C-alpha cells in the first residue's frame, strides 16, 4: 500500500486530505509542522509527501532540503502546496527537487492526477533500481570472468613463449652464420611461418632455402619441423636440389591437411663454377644484382607451392644462371611486397626494387636498410604477415669441414646393423648419418626421397614414442604441438637410458631390371603400442597426427609390427 505523509500547519486541511486519500486506499500519516514532519518521514519512509510551503518555524523549502539530504536509500516524491501568490516559492521548491506543486484551495482531481504520476515515477525508479542491481551483479561477474581470461591469456602466452623458444632451438641453427649470407626475419606472432636456411657445401658454395607457410603463427609453423629435418639431412649429404624439392613436397603433401602449403625458393650456389641453380614455387621474384648494383636478372615463380600437388604433377626443373663474384641474390617472402600503410597503399614490387637500387647500392647492411624502409612505410599499422629476406653474396664462402663417411655398397646385395644408445641419441644426428651410408648406392639412387621418408618416419616414431615416451595424441591439435615441442626438447636433452636398434638390407632380385627389396628392421626400448588398432586411411585423416603408419603402408610393400609394438619391419620394392 502506498504511504502518503501530509505536512501542513492547518488542521482542517490535514483532516480533509487524509479522509479523501484513505478513501482511495492510501496509508496516510500527518504532521502539523516541519519538525514533526521530518520525524515522521524518518519513521515511516512514505512514498509521497504533501508539503505546505508556508509554515511557522521550519518552512516547506527547508523541510524539502532536509528530506533530500536524508533520501539516500529511500526515494520519495514531494508535492508542494502553496497559497495564492506563492508560485515563486513553489518554483524554488521545484529547483530543490520537488515533483509538483498545487495551489490552495486544492483541486482534488488535480491532486489525484499528481499522486498517480508520482506513483508511476516511483515504479520507474524501482524498476531502474532492479536493473542497476542486475547490472552491478553482471559487472561483478564480468570482472571475475575477465580476471580468469587474463589469467588464461597469461598462461597461454607463457606457454606459447616457451614453445616458441623450443621451436627456435629446433629450427634455427648456426648455419645462417655465413659471411656471405645475411637474412632478416620479422614475425607478426610468437611463432613464425617463414623459414630461412643456408647450409655450406663441403666443396664450396651453399644450399639456400626461403619458405613461407600458409597463414601465420603456430598453425603455419607446424610444418617447419619436417621440412627443416629433410632439408638439413639431405643437404648435408650433398643430395641433388631436385631430390630435396621432391622429398619435401612428398612429405608435405602426404602429412599436412588440405590448405596448408609452402611457398618456397630453393637454390644451390656453385661458387667454383659460377652457377646458381634455383627453383621458385609461389614466392615473389628472386632478384640478382651485379657488383655495381645493376639488375642482372629476375627469376619469377613458374611452379606451384610445395605440398599442393603430388610429385608426378610438380615441375622439378631448375633454372641455372651464371653468376660472378660480387653478384648479390635476394630472396624474400610476400610479406615484404604485400605490406600496407595507413592509407591502404601496398608497398609493392616496384617500390621494393627502387629501394634496393637507390638506397643500398654499396651498403654492407642492405637488409637493415630495406627493413627500416619497410617499417617507415607501414608506420603505425599493425604488421599483417611474417616478413623474411635473405641476401646471398657470390663469393667463396667460409665452409665448415665436414667429415665424409661414405661407404661404397655392393649392388649385388648388402646389409648392416647397429645400435644407438642414449648418449648418441642426444648428441648425434643419427638419421643424417644413416642416410649418408646408403645415398650413393647406384640401385637405390632413384628412390632416395621415398627411402628417406621411410627411414625418417621409422626413426622419429622409435625415438619420440618409444625412447622418449611422448604422447602421440599431442599432435592431434594445433595447441598440442607446443607441448610436443617442449616435451621433445626437454626429454632429449635429459635422456639417460634407452636405445634404438636398426638392421638395414638390400636384396636384389635376379633379372635384367636390377629390381630388389630394401628392408629395414627397427626396434626401440619403449613399451610399444596396440598395432592391431584400426587407423584411418591417409586420405581420410585431416588431423596433424596419426598419419605415420598409413604413410608407411602407402609407400612400402609390407609393414609388419611384432613383439609388443616396439619393433617394426618394412619391405620396399626397388624397380
Give me the mean pLDDT over the 308-325 stretch. Answer: 89
Answer yes or no: are the C-beta atoms of 518 and 451 closer than 8 Å: yes
**In the predicted structure, residue 220 carries a pLDDT above the cut 80:** no
Per-residue model confidence as pLDDT tens digits over 75-103: 889 999 987 556 788 788 888 889 998 88
User: For 490-501, what is each residue's pLDDT tens digit?
Assistant: 888 888 899 999
* Distance, C-alpha 568 to centroid of its chain: 37
Percent of the chain clearing pLDDT 90 (strictly above): 35
pLDDT score of 79: 93
**Nearest to 201, CA basis, from 277, 264, 262, 297:** 277
Secondary structure (DSSP) of 129-150 = HHHHHHHHHHHHHHHHHHHHHH
pLDDT of residue 484: 81
| Cα–Cα distance list, 185 to 207, 386, 391 (Å) | 18, 8, 12
Q: Which fold has domain 172-393?
A: Phosphatase 2c; domain 1 (3.60.40)
Q: Is the peptide bond before 105 cis (omega within 30 degrees of 0)?
A: yes
pLDDT confidence tier of residue 72, bands split at 50, 70 and 90: low
> Quick one: residue 317, left, alpha or beta (phi over 0 = left, psi -120 to 50 = alpha)?
beta
With bands split at pLDDT 50, 70 and 90, how would you rate the model's confidence at 398?
A: very low
What rounded mean pLDDT belongs to the chain?
A: 83
pLDDT for res 36: 94
d(CA 29, CA 404): 109
Output the pLDDT for position 3: 94
Please count the other Cβ atoms lying within 10 Å of the Cβ belonging to residue 394: 21
Q: How far apart are CA 475 and CA 129, in angstroms?
A: 53
Q: Is 561 exposed, middle or buried (0-12, 13-18, 19+ CB in 10 A)?
A: middle
pLDDT band at 363 (very low <50, low <70, confident <90, very high): low
Within 8 A by CB and 6+ apart from 191, the residues are: 160, 163, 164, 167, 216, 217, 218, 220, 221
Residue 61 exposed, middle or buried by CB count within 10 Å (0-12, 13-18, 19+) = buried
- C-alpha–C-alpha distance, residues 233 and 235, integer Å: 6
In degrees, to the nearest 5, what angle opens at C-alpha 271 toward C-alphas 267 and 272?
135
* pLDDT tens figures, 326-350: 899 999 999 999 999 999 999 999 9
Highest mean pLDDT among 26-40, 225-239, 436-450: 26-40
pLDDT of residue 377: 94
Q: Can you state the angle between helices 430-438 and 448-461, rounded to 10 degrees?
A: 150
345 by DSSP, 3-state: which? coil
Chain position carrying cell 621418408: 453
- The closest alpha carbon to 262, from 251, 272, 273, belongs to 251
pLDDT band at 453 (very low <50, low <70, confident <90, very high): confident
Place of cell 588431423: 543
Q: What's the full length of the chain, in residues?
A: 575
Q: Give pLDDT tens digits for 256-315.
A: 777 789 999 999 998 878 899 999 999 999 999 998 889 999 999 999 999 999 999 987
Domain 3-128 has CATH 2.170.120.12: no
Q: What is the mean pLDDT of residues 68-75?
A: 73
Q: For residue 290, how many other CB atoms are within 10 A of its CB?
A: 15
Q: How confident is the model at residue 35 (pLDDT cuts 50, 70, 90)?
A: very high
What does the radius of gyration of the chain's CA atoms come to, in whole angstroms? 41
pLDDT level of residue 412 (50, 70, 90 thresholds): low
On the question of pLDDT at 371 being above 80, the answer is yes
Residue 401 has pLDDT above 90, yes or no: no
Of the two residues 30 and 436, the one the predictor is more confident about is 30
Determine the Cα angle at 344 with ends 262 and 280, to 5°: 25
The pairing of beta strand 286-289 with beta strand 206-213: unpaired
Lowest mean pLDDT, pick from 81-90, 126-135, 222-231:
81-90
Q: What is the pLDDT of residue 323?
A: 92
CATH no. for 414-574: 3.30.565.10
For residue 529, pLDDT beyond 60: yes
**pLDDT band at residue 397 under the 50/70/90 scheme:** very low
What is the percentage of the chain residues whose pLDDT exceeds 70?
Answer: 82
Strand partners, 558: 571
User: Per-residue pLDDT tens for 158-208?
Assistant: 655 665 565 555 555 445 567 888 888 887 766 667 888 898 876 568 899
Residue among 572, 563, 437 nearest 516 (CA): 572
Q: Flag whether pLDDT at 16 surpasses 70.
A: yes
Pick 378 or 363 by higher pLDDT: 378
What gap in Å lies between CA 430 and CA 420, rounded to an integer?
Answer: 8
- Distance, CA of 415 to chain centre: 46
Whole-model pTM: value is 0.51
pLDDT at 187: 77
Domain extents in the chain: 3-128, 172-393, 414-574
Cα–Cα distance measured from residue 568 to residue 531, given in angstroms and rounded to the nearest whole number? 10
Amino acid at each position: 500500500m502506498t504511504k502518503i505523509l501530509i505536512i501542513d500547519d492547518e488542521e482542517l486541511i490535514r483532516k480533509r486530505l487524509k479522509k479523501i486519500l484513505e478513501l482511495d486506499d492510501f496509508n496516510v500519516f500527518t504532521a502539523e509542522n516541519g519538525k514533526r514532519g521530518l520525524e515522521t518521514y524518518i519513521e515511516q519512509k512514505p512514498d509521497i509527501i504533501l508539503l505546505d510551503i508556508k509554515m511557522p518555524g521550519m518552512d516547506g523549502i527547508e523541510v524539502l532540503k532536509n528530506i533530500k539530504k536524508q533520501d539516500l536509500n529511500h526515494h520519495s516524491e514531494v508535492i508542494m502546496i502553496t497559497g495564492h501568490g506563492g508560485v515563486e516559492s513553489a518554483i524554488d521548491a521545484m529547483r530543490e527537487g520537488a515533483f509538483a506543486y498545487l495551489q490552495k484551495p486544492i483541486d482534488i482531481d488535480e491532486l489525484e492526477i499528481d499522486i498517480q504520476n508520482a506513483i508511476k515515477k516511483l515504479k520507474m525508479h524501482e524498476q531502474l533500481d532492479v536493473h542497476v542491481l542486475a547490472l552491478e551483479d553482471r559487472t561483478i561477474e564480468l570482472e571475475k570472468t575477465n580476471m580468469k581470461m587474463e589469467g588464461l591469456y597469461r598462461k597461454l602466452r607463457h606457454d606459447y613463449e616457451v614453445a616458441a623458444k623450443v621451436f627456435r632451438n629446433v629450427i634455427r641453427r648456426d648455419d645462417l652464420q655465413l659471411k656471405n649470407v645475411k637474412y632478416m626475419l620479422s614475425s607478426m606472432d610468437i611463432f613464425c611461418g617463414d623459414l630461412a636456411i643456408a647450409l655450406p657445401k663441403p666443396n664450396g658454395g651453399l644450399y639456400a632455402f626461403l619458405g613461407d607457410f600458409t597463414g601465420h603463427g603456430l598453425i603455419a609453423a607446424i610444418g617447419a619441423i619436417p621440412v627443416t629435418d629433410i632439408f638439413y639431412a639431405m643437404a648435408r649429404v650433398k643430395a641433388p636440389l631436385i631430390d630435396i624439392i621432391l622429398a619435401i613436397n612428398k612429405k608435405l603433401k602426404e602429412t599436412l591437411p588440405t590448405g596448408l602449403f609452402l611457398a618456397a625458393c630453393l637454390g644451390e650456389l656453385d661458387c667454383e663454377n659460377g652457377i646458381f641453380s634455383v627453383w621458385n614455387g609461389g614466392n615473389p621474384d628472386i632478384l640478382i644484382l651485379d657488383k655495381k648494383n645493376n639488375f642482372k636478372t629476375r627469376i619469377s615463380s613458374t611452379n606451384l607451392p610445395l605440398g599442393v600437388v603430388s610429385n608426378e604433377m610438380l615441375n622439378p626443373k631448375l633454372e641455372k644462371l651464371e653468376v660472378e663474384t660480387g653478384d648479390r641474390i635476394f630472396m624474400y617472402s610476400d610479406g615484404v611486397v604485400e605490406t600496407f600503410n595507413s592509407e591502404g597503399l601496398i608497398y609493392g614490387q616496384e617500390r621494393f626494387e627502387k629501394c634496393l637500387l637507390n638506397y643500398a647500392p654499396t651498403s654492407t647492411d642492405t637488409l637493415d636498410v630495406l627493413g627500416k624502409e619497410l617499417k617507415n612505410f607501414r608506420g603505425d599499422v599493425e604488421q599483417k604477415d611474417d616478413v623474411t629476406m635473405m641476401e646471398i653474396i657470390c663469393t667463396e664462402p667460409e665452409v665448415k669441414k665436414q667429415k665424409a663417411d661414405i661407404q661404397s655398397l655392393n649392388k649385388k646385395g648388402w646389409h648392416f646393423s647397429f645400435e644407438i644408445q642414449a648418449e648418441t641419441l642426444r648428441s648425434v644426428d643419427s638419421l643424417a648419418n644413416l642416410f649418408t651410408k646408403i645415398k650413393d648406392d647406384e640401385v637405390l639412387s632413384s628412390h632416395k626421397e621415398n627411402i628417406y621418408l621411410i627411414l625418417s618416419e621409422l626413426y622419429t616414431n622409435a625415438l619420440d614414442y618409444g625412447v622418449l615416451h611422448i604422447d602421440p595424441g599431442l599432435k592431434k591439435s594445433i595447441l598440442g604441438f607446443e607441448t610436443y615441442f617442449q616435451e621433445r626438447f626437454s626429454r632429449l636433452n635429459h635422456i639417460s637410458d634407452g636405445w634404438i636398434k636398426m638392421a638395414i638390407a638390400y636384396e636384389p632380385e635376379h633379372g635384367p631390371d636390377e629390381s630388389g627389396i630394401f628392408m629395414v628392421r627397427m626396434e626401440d626400448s619403449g613399451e610399444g603400442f596396440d598395432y592391431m588398432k584400426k587407423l584411418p586411411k591417409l586420405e581420410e585423416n585431416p588431423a596433424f597426427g596419426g598419419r605415420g603408419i598409413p604413410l608407411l603402408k602407402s609407400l612400402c610393400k609390407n609393414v609388419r609390427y611384432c613383439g609388443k609394438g616396439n619393433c617394426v619391419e618394412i619391405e620396399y620394392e626397388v624397380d
